Structure 1
């Protein structure tokens, strides 16, 4: 069976750095930080008090009041991102397309934690005992995918990846393979997360994984810097519209980039820590390059997982050097999380969008807050200032707790290569 080529035709973001694509991209390129003090709950008893919190998100801008009340915040983010991505792709309606050829794969690592948190509070305070009729649907990690499919009335391939912080990347990779194997013409994919709540914050705080640089929020996320002290949690969504090249050309769609490679692997090492030698992540990168049928010296840009944790940044740097060899020192690299914070499962979707914009704009965003680069992280992380350069292939990594590794490779779309 002939394999289909897969392209990106629409993108939507909901982040602390903006809810519109151009605003978001401009903030990323200019090195703006979306990190601030948490305002949605009392952080007095938490060692970490900062996050990439979306302060003014209004779900009623994207859905009815009834829909909003039936959706946890993570589903609200995902549906909002989907509507933005569809509009960006030029879809006023999908009614003319076979609904069996349109699918949804949106990942989340935590799902309806806000709903869980509120229900447990109500139970303990004896406010209610099972009176919330939407509880059993709102908290489910698969609820966002279901809500999007129901909203659109589509019956194609449907599912939810739950691979911690790799779930967004895994969702895009699986969607790419579905279209590549002619199981669908269009896939809505990416990630969504709303983990800034007392329970989610408390869990990560207990792991001592988050930065406590509370007095200087915008400089707290500092991947590859010697003085990093942990990641900064964030929330939002990153949703992409993937189409077969044939389908996109037939409707004269704008094409942002082509998805050409996907790799995944496991560390089999530790429930929270990465393998220090980066061997598992290396295998994911190599697998993606083999799928894309390219050599390591063709990778121009790497969007790292780059969380700003002491162990993770070194492990990923080791993986990149092992996978790309000497070329690792010639590639332009950055961590978007230095600006966005870590959106958990939504990170893969947001960072795939950034990687796509790099191909379109030929600008590599900075990694901000590199003041004293860690000598064990000795690559070119584009410190503090964006840089123009030719980029034909972008590589985006996402790694999750438990050793889940995923890598996407995107290619600058060239109309002259269309047969």
Structure 2
């Protein structure tokens, strides 16, 4: 067992909530999330045989859960706003924080977005295409309201903070698939510095399936040569770490973690999942959009993240970030031995992307949530859709659907993106 020094300003995770792909209804609660992750169940295959992580929403159900928002306003919210709000509600319920009674009135409300164009395009086009000579005043107001609400990247954070009446720090961060991972570090540092006692971190993103099909067709036309390529898959499943890996399936949704100072959590006798001990962001000096297959930036971020807290030999598990395409698989195959040396071959490294799809900004929160639940249950979840590990796997990807029993005291969660931005988060079990 590894013991780290405890402080009243430790950043403890006390709640988690989701609005992610599921079977017939969104995956919402930690229990539903764990039931899928534990055995690597995938929610990506659609009725027509294509693969995309859809999150269906029922407006009446959402309206019933948010009576504070008049239906005439709520109907103008985009799906991404609703994803973020629903994930927030689930996280508050899980943490037993009554936001209606002001429990988040001074909280930091931080959101991560992957700068996806779909919601912005869907917001701006009606404004640009509106016939100002014939549009009714009511519809003009609706078009303008939707534009104001959703035309900026801070839309999810704005709607969340407004709902809970937060007066604390509130902002949106976008640095690709590492976005919510970086925010976990920012939130932990705010708590350590005494700026806040509670922080809400949400990752949310939205992709329109029809546009992904167009994107996939353009990618097929663009490929030349035999170098590993990132690829969007629509007609076959993603298979991270598998020898048949050919690309990634996208998925929509949101995921939220609530962090509290130990002092605040102890005062209200909150149940805890674990601690966010350290986080570091790094980047290679690569040209824009270039992908460094050596993974040097991610390895540097991980080593810096461990410094002063743990040695590589004390890490029990790594939550990876490979998406299922050959380029990122090869990159992660270089990162793990660069950090762990000869230990890499026996080290369990798994990823949950083939459960919910490659969702962009939520990935950091999803990886951390999955890791904390593995700590709680003493079970390493397998890599979904990995059946035949590829030769590039210099680690144990835990293939299959059963996973394995294991004690996890310390874990690393990695996230990185095209452009070589990388984040490493050190997560620790809390033995109180």
Structure 1 length as normaliser, TM-score? Answer: 0.88
Note if 1:133 corresponds to 2:144: yes
- Cα distance 1:61–1:22, how it changes in 2: closer, same or farther (>3 A)? farther
Note if 1:30 corresponds to 2:35: no
Note if 1:178 corresponds to 2:190: yes
1:315 to 325, 331, 354: 331
Q: Following the alignment from structure 1 to structure 2, what is the Cα–Cα distance between the partners of residues 38 and 240? A: 31
Equivalent residue for 2:94?
88
Secondary structure at the aligned position of 2:16 is classed as strand
2:63 to 60, 64, 67: 60
Q: Following the alignment from structure 2 to structure 1, what is the Cα–Cα distance between the partners of residues 118 and 274? A: 34
Q: Is the 8 A contact 1:302 1:396 kept in 2?
A: yes
- Cα distance 1:166–1:203, how it changes in 2: closer, same or farther (>3 A)? farther
- Cα distance 1:263–1:61, how it changes in 2: closer, same or farther (>3 A)? farther
Q: Which runs of 4+ in 1 moved over 6 A?
A: 127-130
Secondary structure at the aligned position of 2:34 is classed as helix
- Cα distance 1:98–1:33, how it changes in 2: closer, same or farther (>3 A)? closer
Alpha-carbon deviations, 1:344-402, whole Å to 9, x = none? 11111122111110111111111132233221223100101311111111211111232
Equivalent residue for 1:105?
110
Q: Following the alignment from structure 2 to structure 1, what is the Cα–Cα distance between the partners of residues 366 and 99? A: 24
Equivalent residue for 2:303?
286
Q: Following the alignment from structure 2 to structure 1, what is the Cα–Cα distance between the partners of residues 152 and 399? A: 39
Equivalent residue for 2:78?
72
- Cα distance 1:353–1:67, how it changes in 2: closer, same or farther (>3 A)? farther
Q: Give the drift of 1:141.
A: 1.2
Q: Give the drift of 1:115.
A: 4.9
Note if 1:406 corresponds to 2:417: no
List gaps (5 residues or longer) in structure 2. 1-6, 221-229
Provide the aligned C-alpha RMSD in A.
Answer: 2.5
Secondary structure at the aligned position of 1:165 is classed as coil
Alpha-carbon deviations, 1:258-288, whole Å to 9, x = none? 1111111012324444311110111111121
Structure 2 length as normaliser, TM-score? Answer: 0.86
1:312-391 correspondence to structure 2 within 5 Å: 312-384=328-400, 385-391=402-408
Secondary structure at the aligned position of 1:24 is classed as helix
List gaps (5 residues or longer) in structure 1. 40-47
Q: What is the total number of aligned residue pairs between the two structures?
A: 400
Q: Following the alignment from structure 1 to structure 2, what is the Cα–Cα distance between the partners of residues 264 and 38? A: 40
Secondary structure at the aligned position of 2:75 is classed as helix
